[in-house]
Amino acid sequence: MTPQVDVYLLPEDTQRALANDVREGLSAKPKVLPPKWFYDAQGSELFDKITRLPEYYPTKAERSILAQHATVIADLSDADTLVELGAGRADKTRVLLDALTTRGSLERYVPFDVSESALVGASKMIANHYPGLVVHGVVGDFDRHLDAIPSGGTRMIAFLGGTIGNYQPADLARFLERLSAQMQPHDTFLLGVDLVKDPARLVRAYDDESGVTAAFNKNVLAVINRALGASFDLDRFEHIVRWDPVNEWIEMRLRSIVRQCVTVRDIGLTVEFTAGEEMRTEISAKFRRSVICKELVSAGLELLAWLPDAADDFALILSRKP
């Protein structure tokens, strides 16, 4: 069956959003760039390498939970439709698709991603592997296009990988409220969260010895150079990782090694960096069970299951719209 793909995010929309984020972020004090701009083709390849590093535990931990509990998740969700936010290549989702197929309830898969090329590739791969499955992809930004998720059936919406940690608290609450508002009674939400643990171990996960995460962090500058005609010299910035014990999140930053001036030609912006000045490129919040469960309940969802890995590093939470 040929996949259907709805496109709500055109290349010019992405270009405009990037320009706005760069203008606002580089004019802010302190400077900041949103982490979603890491993921061009090079950034996606680097992140795939990160997930296989010995220091980086979240992907391995989440896969172990899915392998152990996919059948329980499928049974509790009673879903005939699996929606995946930030689907990418749909690697981990295959475990859930298999569990729902074995249960006999799976009818439809809805991958949702900002990258049309990644989504089309994943949609074709899934359609080929599961003959007869309806595949309905959505190209969009889940901060703007949640209402584009196809309705009907009993849906399980999966948001895996700990990506929820990129939201600051107020933004997290708004995202969960918007998502809950789009859910119908008996729809479920499967959320992957990274848990609070030893700060030294967390820092190592984001500052590997081989330098892959540093290259990933700097890649955001290469994206801006290429897309907006900027003059960032990647060698003049260094990768910095810090644990914030108050907010309980990891911060990735880029520190200017020297005093320098950067131009962003396409938006007519000139920016000065002092030597040692840092620009935040990502937060990755780590959660405690009581805190994230309270957020889900506040958004109008009821908790069905808390599923941690054996080491209590990561957890999947299944909740439902009553």
Task: Judge if 189 and 215 occupy the same domain.
Answer: no
Give me the half-sphere count of Cα atoms (radius 13 Å) on the Cβ side of residue 102.
12
Task: Judge if 187 and 297 occupy the same domain.
Answer: yes
pLDDT of residue 44: 87
pLDDT of residue 27: 97
Task: Judge if 71 and 161 occupy the same domain.
Answer: yes
Q: Which regions of the chain are under pLDDT 50?
A: none
Task: Judge if 309 and 169 occupy the same domain.
Answer: yes
The CA distance from 277 to 81, in Å, is 47
The answer to whether the beta carbons of residues 263 and 254 sit under 8 Å apart is no
Name the residue type at position 5.
Answer: V
Task: Judge if 279 and 151 occupy the same domain.
Answer: no
Residue-wise pLDDT tens digits, 27-47: 999 999 999 999 888 998 999
pLDDT of residue 135: 96
The answer to whether the beta carbons of residues 83 and 189 sit under 8 Å apart is no
The CA distance from 207 to 186, in Å, is 41
Task: Judge if 208 and 185 occupy the same domain.
Answer: no
In a domain, 11, yes or no: no
pLDDT of residue 257: 98
pLDDT of residue 216: 97
Domain region containing 297: 58-195+287-320
Residue-wise pLDDT tens digits, 141-191: 988 999 999 999 999 999 999 999 999 999 999 999 999 999 999 999 999
pLDDT of residue 118: 83
pLDDT of residue 40: 86
Task: Judge if 62 and 152 occupy the same domain.
Answer: yes
Rg, C-alpha atoms of the chain: 20
Residue 145's Cβ-count burial label (10 Å; 0-12, 13-18, 19+) is middle
Task: Judge if 257 and 231 occupy the same domain.
Answer: yes
In a domain, 23, yes or no: no
3-state secondary structure at position 180: helix
Write the CATH number for 139: 3.40.50.150
**How many domains is the chain partitioned into structurally?**
2
The answer to whether the beta carbons of residues 117 and 89 sit under 8 Å apart is no
Task: Judge if 187 and 292 occupy the same domain.
Answer: yes
